[in-house]
Structure 1
Amino acid sequence: MLTDQVLFITQLVTLWAVLDPISHLPLFMGATTSLTEGERRRAAVIAVLLAFVILAIFGFCGQFLLHAMGISLLSFQIAGGIVLFLFAVSMVLGETKHMPPSVPTGERVMEVAVYPLATPIIAGPGAMLTIVLLMDNNRYSRAEQLVTFSALATVLVGLLAIFLLGGILMRVLGTGLTHLLRRTMGLVLAALAVNLVLSAAATWLKLPEI
């Protein structure tokens, strides 16, 4: 049995690797190009809070919900991979949604914060699957699940801090390099989405790992 400290560090490293805050920064910067700096900061805070709620609820209840609905983790992984792929394609093709000035600031910020920031960028299929496995209701006690819960909160605080530095980095990098990073990360995200689908299919068909 792992001690709480060792479990916390293990969960923290796992969640940091899955959420990967550093590589998410270009995605955040690309998704918020239509917002002002102040709106970008508010969107970051709202998105991280929403992602925390989504992942926490899914961690505690996701296993029961999927089982009750007759949905396997593999099916969820494939569906999530498809949604992630569609978003990645829009990034690669440069289909950024610019909202007209007539749209109220609160609505503009909330819409971007919910999609694509909270999901699928932060609380994507990989993060959801990971949190379900780390908080497996059949394997871990409530105390151990709370340790995972704390590790998730710590990682998301770090993610928020990196997002809040996005405005400074955008000024340093410039518009051209920002667009280049957006398309590059979109391609990487598309590859990740395809890998999620193929990995689930390989597991289902009992094929060698890709």
Structure 2
Amino acid sequence: MDPTTIIPAFVTLFVVIDPIGLAPLFAALTQGMTDAQRRSIAIRSCLTAIGILLVFTFFGEAVLGFVGISFPAFRIAGGVLLFLTALDMLFNRRQERREDQADEPQVDDPSVFPLAIPLIAGPGSIATMILLAGEAEGATGLAVSIAIMIAVVFLGFLLFLMAGPLERLLGKTGINVVTRLLGMLLAALSVQFILDGLASFGLGGA
């Protein structure tokens, strides 16, 4: 990878993954959890996302092609799953489930879904990594692309660690309001995923 493309590649991945935008969402998804639980979820979600992005970096379209899945279909599926999460946030179902399970050792774990995928390792970031890998020149260029991806995800991890102070700052009422607002944004984002996927199918058939 040419040195002049490193910054554009970083900016592209940073915008696509949007770690700043994910920080308040992480706080909403982990509402009521301890700092230790949040730290554990942040670690698992980031490591899982890195693993998923590495798979697509090395194998790319072959992975989806092997199981007969196109990128538009992948985007639509991610949008549907994200919409279900948005409904939970809008109607506070996650918090109700936590209260019902207060006496049980297990609690909802959003580390794999929706944090790792599709929020961190979503259609956009997967497609970006495939493109960066395709443009990389040799093993060095590929290693630089991977390093850029890890750096962006690590920034997201650092912002996730600020979820506790953010929740304390906003308070329970503030977090509830933010959760519902983010739920609306997530719903809109999920619909956009679906529309983009449908548009891609339409373009492909044109």
TM (norm. structure 1) is 0.85
Where does structure 2 lack aligned partners over 5 or more consecutive residues?
none
Q: Which amino acid aligns with 1:22?
A: I
1:16-165 to structure 2, matched below 5 A, reads 16-96=14-94, 97-98=97-98, 100-104=101-105, 108=107, 111-136=109-134, 139-141=135-137, 142-165=139-162
RMSD of the TM alignment (CA)? 2.1
1:158-177 to structure 2, matched below 5 A, reads 158-177=155-174
Provide the rounded CA distance (Å) in 2 between the counterparts of 1:36 and 1:26: 16
Provide the rounded CA distance (Å) in 2 between the counterparts of 1:154 and 1:98: 33
Alignment check: 8 A CA contact 2:82 2:114 kept: no
1:6-21 to structure 2, matched below 5 A, reads 6-21=4-19
Provide the rounded CA distance (Å) in 1 between the counterparts of 2:104 and 2:12: 39
Provide the rounded CA distance (Å) in 2 between the counterparts of 1:16 and 1:184: 23
Residues 107-158 of structure 1 show CA distances to partners (whole Å, capped at 9, x for unaligned) of 548x33223322233222332233223323xx54333222211111111111
Following superposition, the deviation at residue 33 of structure 1 comes to: 1.4
Provide the rounded CA distance (Å) in 1 between the counterparts of 2:195 and 2:113: 25
Residues 25-81 of structure 1 show CA distances to partners (whole Å, capped at 9, x for unaligned) of 121011111421221112111211111111111222231111222222112111122
Alignment check: 8 A CA contact 2:27 2:166 kept: no
Alignment check: 8 A CA contact 1:81 1:194 kept: yes
Paired position in structure 1 for 2:199: 202
With 157-166 and 82-91 compared, the bigger mean Cα shift is at 82-91
Alignment check: 8 A CA contact 2:136 2:145 kept: no
Q: 1:202 to 1:89 in 2, by over 3 A?
A: same
Find out whether 1:181 has 2:175 as its counterpart: no
Q: Which amino acid aligns with 1:165?
A: M
Aligned length: 200
Alignment check: 8 A CA contact 2:14 2:152 kept: yes
Provide the rounded CA distance (Å) in 1 between the counterparts of 2:98 and 2:160: 20
SS of alignment partner, residue 49 of structure 1: helix
Q: Which amino acid aligns with 2:181?
A: T
Q: Which amino acid aligns with 2:154?
A: V
SS of alignment partner, residue 135 of structure 1: helix
Provide the rounded CA distance (Å) in 2 between the counterparts of 1:133 and 1:164: 30
Following superposition, the deviation at residue 102 of structure 1 comes to: 4.5
Q: 1:108 to 1:15 in 2, by over 3 A?
A: same
Q: Which amino acid aligns with 2:51?
A: V
